[in-house]
Amino acid sequence: MTGMKVVHIGFLGCGNVGSGVWRLLESFGKDIQHRTDLSFHVKKVLVRDINKSRGIAFPEGVLTRKVEDVLEDPEISIVVEFLGGEEPAFTWLHRALESGKTVITANKVAFALHWHTLQKTAKEHASGLYYEAAVCGAIPIIHALEDSLQANRIDKIFGIVNGTTNYILTRMSKNNESYDDVLCEAQRLGLAEPDPAADVEGLDAAYKLSILASLAFHGRVPFENIYVEGITGIQAEDVRCGLELGYTLKLLAIAKRDGMSVETRVHPTFIRCDHPLANVSGSFNAVYLKGHACQEMMFLGRGAGDMPTASAIVSDLVRAASAQKHLYPTFDNEPIPAVALKKNMDWSCPYYIRLLAKDTPGVLSQIAKAFADQGVSIAAMQQKGGQRDGRVPLVFITHSAHEKAMQQAIHGIPREIATMESMIRVEEE
């Protein structure tokens, strides 16, 4: 047993998450010290406005408006970043790593975009780089992939990693409400941003999938390589039809490995109602995965929020300060990844298709032929609801088909016979 060690920390920013970390260190500092012999001391906190009330009695001299007070203080060994966004976060984190400081961040954007550079710099200077809070808030999925499941070949990850869209889809499922109505309500409740694009168009989920897939497959999966489709086009009618067929609609972040070949995509997806992910409702996040040794697992929790995020940051603080040396994920043969990234649309899955078809004999046979011509095989068909303007809604579930074959099949149906209303991908497992 060595004696107590004081660890000096600097905060970059101090919003609600930062205040949460401060409070957790106040409440649990003694317990942590008792167990680890580490005493955490927040020495400097960079803020824009020193006089703003934060509900915390910061000791004299802790708050500063100069970033150098954090980055150039040799006593500060760990820098925790709460700024969010690409810049100036990336530049400051990079400077901290260059001077041998360990960095802890909850910033998925700066991290996903600049991971390669940050890790390279961290390795060169033996600095630590910790980012548990950047993906899924309190859920320890980063640590699970890097530590608990390290003796696994991970074959598959399905994530519900964006709380806003999961809240919207859950409401649409439970109350048969329209997308627009639920989005308005979510904005009113503060569950969606005034400009919701990053969430509802799937970008936030893609940043997180980029991080999860890279760790799981030991090969960099850049954000730009991920196919992304949001939930803005989802119609209440499809959510309801899916439920009647036994499927729940989720914005799923999907990463699969087949041998050396990796596919990654974010899009609205039907999953079976008895799948563990189907009951993940409201603003919860969850990550479901399959490894060759651990088999199927799921981690569920609060993917955002001040205290859940602060909880993850404190665990990173203790890990960073008690590490014998900092470990980094291995990306073999960088910059050439150990895995090959599939091109967009190069995947197969079952499909849910809703068509509006002419209500005359022979139409179904023509549609079935257009499917068969592309090798797409139909698993189920149902007429949903009655005739409108001479057309009836037909819902198809196909067997697994290649995305391009499916799109060509739809293309091959003459418009005077039927028009496509919706096409939603399905994951059957």
Whichever of 24 and 79 has its CB closer to its own copies, that residue is 24
Binding piece for its own copies, criterion CB under 8 A, among 96-104, 150-158, 197-205, 252-260: 150-158
Binding of residue 330 to its own copies (CB under 8 A)? yes
CA distance 53 to 375: 65
Residue 302: how many other CB atoms lie within 10 Å: 17
User: For residue 150, what are its two tokens?
Assistant: 């390290």
> Which helix (H) or strand (E) segment is 266 a member of?
strand 261-272
Residues 56-75, one symbol each (x = binds its own copies by CB under 8 A, - = not), give --------------------
Binding of residue 16 to its own copies (CB under 8 A)? no
Q: What minimum distance in Å lies between the beta carbon of 168 and its own copies?
A: 18
Whichever of 24 and 62 has its CB closer to its own copies, that residue is 24
User: For residue 289, what are its two tokens?
Assistant: 């995965």
The candidate with the shortest Cα–Cα distance to 159, out of 109, 205, 113, 110, is 205
CA distance 192 to 309: 18
CA distance 414 to 351: 20
Binding of residue 122 to its own copies (CB under 8 A)? no
Q: Which of 51, 293, 335, 416 binds its own copies (CB under 8 A)?
A: 293
CA distance 419 to 400: 22
For the chain, the distance separating the N- and C-terminal CA atoms, rounded to the nearest angstrom, is 50
CA distance 111 to 59: 31
Binding of residue 149 to its own copies (CB under 8 A)? yes
Answer yes or no: 208 catalytic.
Answer: yes
Q: What minimum distance in Å lies between the beta carbon of 32 and its own copies?
A: 7
Q: Which of 152, 187, 348, 419 binds its own copies (CB under 8 A)?
A: 152
How many CA within 13 A on the CB side of residue 197?
Answer: 1
Binding of residue 24 to its own copies (CB under 8 A)? yes
Binding of residue 415 to its own copies (CB under 8 A)? no
Of 296-325, which residues contact its own copies (CB under 8 A)?
A: 296-302, 305, 307-308, 310-312, 314-315, 318-319, 322-325
Of 206-245, which residues contact its own copies (CB under 8 A)?
A: 218
Binding of residue 328 to its own copies (CB under 8 A)? yes
Q: Which residue in the list 44, 208, 250, 256 is annotated as catalytic?
A: 208
Q: Which of 112, 144, 160, 262 binds its own copies (CB under 8 A)?
A: 144
Whichever of 38 and 236 has its CB closer to its own copies, that residue is 38
Q: Which of 76, 80, 138, 401 binds its own copies (CB under 8 A)?
A: 138
E strands present in 68-169 = 76-81, 102-105, 129-130, 154-160
Question: What are the CB-based long-range contacts (under 8 Å, 24+) for 405-410?
Answer: 405/374, 405/375, 405/376, 406/351, 406/353, 406/374, 406/376, 407/345, 408/374, 409/370, 409/371, 409/373, 409/374, 409/376, 410/353, 410/370
Q: What minimum distance in Å lies between the beta carbon of 332 and its own copies?
A: 8
Binding piece for its own copies, criterion CB under 8 A, among 50-58, 114-122, 207-215, 280-288: 280-288
Binding piece for its own copies, criterion CB under 8 A, among 199-207, 276-284, 365-373, 380-388: 276-284
Residue 131 DSSP label: -
User: For residue 5, what are its two tokens?
Assistant: 């060690």
Binding of residue 148 to its own copies (CB under 8 A)? yes
Whichever of 211 and 367 has its CB closer to its own copies, that residue is 211
Binding of residue 132 to its own copies (CB under 8 A)? yes
User: For residue 45, what are its two tokens?
Assistant: 């906190």
CA distance 304 to 381: 39
Binding of residue 126 to its own copies (CB under 8 A)? yes
Binding of residue 166 to its own copies (CB under 8 A)? no
How many CA within 13 A on the CB side of residue 313?
Answer: 32
Residue 153 DSSP label: -
Which active-site residues does the annotation give? 208
Residues near its own copies, by CB under 8 A: 1-2, 20, 24-25, 27-28, 31-32, 34-36, 126, 132, 138-140, 143-144, 147-152, 218, 274-276, 278-281, 284, 291-302, 305, 307-308, 310-312, 314-315, 318-319, 322-325, 327-330
